[in-house]
Amino acid sequence: MQPEPTDSPAIPSPLPWQAEPWQRLGAQWRAGRCPHALLFSGQGGLGKRRFAEAFAALSLCDQPRDGLACGSCRGCRLWQAGSHPDFLRVEPEKPGGPLKVEQIRRLGGFVDRTSGREGARVVWLAPAEAMNINAANALLKNLEEPSASVIFLLITDSPSGLLPTIRSRCQSVAFPAPAEEPALRWLHEGGLDDCAARRALALAGGAPLLAARLAEPESRELRDQFLADLTALAQGSTGAVALAGRWETPGEAVELSRLLQFWQHWIAQMLRARSCDLTADEEIMALLQRLPGSGSDSLRPLFGFSDQLQQARRALLGGSNPNKRLLVEELLIRWAKLYR
């Protein structure tokens, strides 16, 4: 199973659930009507980066076959070597870091020169929401006066984090979560059994590549420990401040925004179990049974807390750079209060 890659396959191709946008965009390309800027948006783990890699490879291929890059021409060989002169990748210097204005300003030399092969030049930029206001304004200048044959490919998990003026100058290509059947089939082909695939896909919000990552042992162990700590906090056997120090930076396997997504998923399970008289996982049922009160009145605080988790995730994903320690501490304190 592959995560959504930053280091793409030698000659990438779109994923099975991306057939419709690939066909639509390919038709525009073949007709010579490809927009100068494309914005690939959707939740993480859907394969947007791979799709953008595949389209970049197609754009730079000298003799495409069956709607894909051929893999054997000079353009494809340069692509495989990572040395194509008409392709520029722009991403943060450090994982999770910002896209700096200096990086965007350096686009000028690439955009203004002429292609030696008289073909397209491609700028691949991700994550687009990592640009601060100065970097975004520098990019806007390039989008407002596009050079002939230059294609900008912007990839984002959070389009609301981009300037409206940037969004308006791009053709948007939205990536919704695929239907469950093709997502599960892809996960099965990667070696997950049905039970593990369904559980991981639910945690991932329907995003198959993210589900594959969440099914890996390190991610599972971290998730289980987080749920165990939330249970201990609900039981009063540990403190919120001590736990905040542990979870403000979960680690490489899972980032904080994803941890909050897990938390939301568990709360949704609790709400469904109480309101529909269903049985959830043993750990979730234990949390539900410890909640004070009964019936609909006991659910109101859970709904409110779920909203707070969503606001916290938006703050983390929207580029506002909140104090993670204080954010986690506040959430854990409120969680503990639900059980008092």
Q: According to the model, what pLDDT value does residue 109 have?
A: 85
Check whether residue 163 and residue 231 sit in a common domain.
Answer: no
**10-residue averages of pLDDT along the chain (340 residues):** 44 92 93 93 94 95 92 91 92 86 90 78 94 92 85 94 93 96 95 92 91 92 94 94 90 82 90 74 87 77 92 78 91 94
| Residue type at position 46 | L
Q: What local confidence, expressed as pLDDT, does residue 298 receive? A: 73
Specify whether 239 is located in the same domain as 158: no
Peptide bond connecting 127 to the previous residue in cis, omega within 30 degrees of 0: yes
Is 3 domain-assigned?
A: no
Confidence (pLDDT) at 253: 66
Under a CB-based contact definition with an 8 Å cutoff, are residues 180 and 188 in contact?
Answer: no
Sign, CA dihedral 56-61-63-69, equals: negative
Report, in this order, helix, strand and coil percent for the chain, each rounded to 5: 55, 10, 35
Asked if the structure places residue 331 within a domain, the reply is yes
pLDDT given for residue 2 in this prediction = 41
Q: Are residues 235 and 165 both part of a single domain?
A: no
Q: Is residue 117 domain-resident?
A: yes
Residue 291 belongs to a domain = yes
> Do 66 and 157 have their domain in common?
yes
**166 and 226 part of one domain:** no
Query: Cβ neighbours of residue 124 under 8 Å, at least 6 residues apart?
Result: 52, 53, 56, 87, 88, 89, 90, 153, 155
CA pair distance 209, 16, nearest whole angstrom: 12
Alpha carbon distance 197, 211 (integer Å): 7
CATH of the domain at 247: 1.20.272
**Which of the listed residues 174, 200, 230 is the one where a domain comes to its end?**
174
The answer to the question of residue 155 being in a domain is yes
Q: Are residues 39 and 124 in the same domain?
A: yes
Residue 320 in domain: yes
313 contact partners, CB below 8 Å, separation of at least 6: 257, 260, 261, 264
Residue 323 maps to a domain: yes
Clarify whether residues 144 and 49 are in a common domain. Answer: yes
H/E segment holding residue 270:
helix 256-276
- The count of domains in the chain is 2
Q: Are residues 226 and 170 in the same domain?
A: no
CA distance 246 to 115: 51
Do residue 160 and residue 307 come from a single domain?
Answer: no
197 domain residue, yes or no: no
3-state SS assignment for residue 267: helix
- 25 and 149 belong to one structural domain: yes
CATH number of the domain where residue 107 is located: 3.40.50.300
Domain final position from 117, 145, 174: 174
- Could you tell me the pTM of the whole model? 0.81
Residues 25 and 115 in one domain: yes
Whether residues 145 and 45 share a domain: the answer is yes
Tell me which residue range forms the domain holding 56. Answer: 16-174
